[in-house]
Amino acid sequence: MSHAQSPVCPPGRTLQIGRLAIWPPVLQAPMAGFTNLAFRQVVRDYGGVGLQFTEMVSAQGFAWLDQRGELPDRLWGVADEPRPLGVQIWDNDPRTLAVVGRRVVEEFGVDVIDINFGCPVQQVTEKARSGSYLLQDPGRVGAIVEQVVKACDPVPVTAKIRLGRHRGEMTACDVARAVESAGGAALTVHGRTARDLYRGEADWQLISEIKSHLRRIPLIGNGDLDSAEKVVAAFGRYDVDVVMIGRAALGRPWIFRQVQAALQGAPIPDDPEPDAERACLLRHYDLIVDRFGVEKGTMLMRRYACRYAQGRRGARQFRAHVAQVRAPADFHAVVDRYFPT
């Protein structure tokens, strides 16, 4: 456990996203294929997160399923889990997004609707012309936000973007102004372009420069925050109001608890002991299997298990072995071998 430091964000200083008060100013990022109810519950067990998000939900997919009286798997558990909670949606059609945003608000009573303008995956950008594809057209981004804000009122609507589609087209400042002018309640910026994917380092200086283009809404910085110390440094060096943690939390869901302590000026808790980390991994597995069944749940858990192994001795061998498991006994055997009690 590290020594206590001066508080960066005292508990009494909450952040407002529309009508929603948040503390600590640390958010769990929406991540497709990862941030389902099981993951959110594991994060919640450790505490320290100010606002959690679902996986991003296709508005077109939602509308198609809704006509058949069904709901997307990505909204599993949303109706009943603790708040605050946000749902992220994506598409390129303002009306579809507005209708689906309103349905999500009415059906689930969530606290925030976030619109994805940052996804760099080709299936979303090139095939669906959504996500980061829309960063080339700030006017369309604004039109989308405006319609969703009207549809979801009084629930706040936020947006998540990247710096631009590529280094020759850095449109984040224009998009930021469009989001705010359209009534957006907060803006999250990932410090890479779409073409960068996750290569190189997130550019926090460029994130910080966007703040001067916003008059009233908070700026949320995202990218490469993988320790409490980095979060404290980000608040000290850059002009951001909130931070969002994504990939670093996938195998270390306790990172939010560590960040909260650091922001309060309290000693930063150590990572869990190996037996506690093992128990966390197995609980995560049980939650997944309870929802999806043994076969599908075990397949889905492979990707999470590999994240838990990052940085551990024998991680490569663990990943190779866990990629082969198909049954609970096999999964437990691999975990027992690499996460001994």
Active site residues: 119
Nearest residue to 240 via CA among 212, 259, 268, 263: 212
SS3 82: coil
DSSP state of 51: B
> How many of the other CB atoms lie within 10 Å of CB of 27?
29
268 phi and psi angles, rounded to 5 deg: -80, 120
Q: Find the DSSP H helices in the chain.
A: 37-46, 59-66, 94-108, 122, 138-152, 172-181, 204-209, 228-237, 255-264, 274-309, 315-322, 328-338
Tokens encoding 68: 């058949």
Task: Give the position of tokens 């206590």.
Answer: 4
Residues 6+ apart with CB under 8 A from 272: 254, 280
List CB contacts of 337: < 8 A, sequence separation 6 or more: 318, 321
Cα–Cα separations (whole angstroms), residue 321 to 197, 317, 324, 325: 28, 6, 6, 7
Region at 164 (left for phi over 0; alpha for psi -120 to 50; beta for the rest) = left
Closest CA to 237 of 201, 206, 208, 268: 208
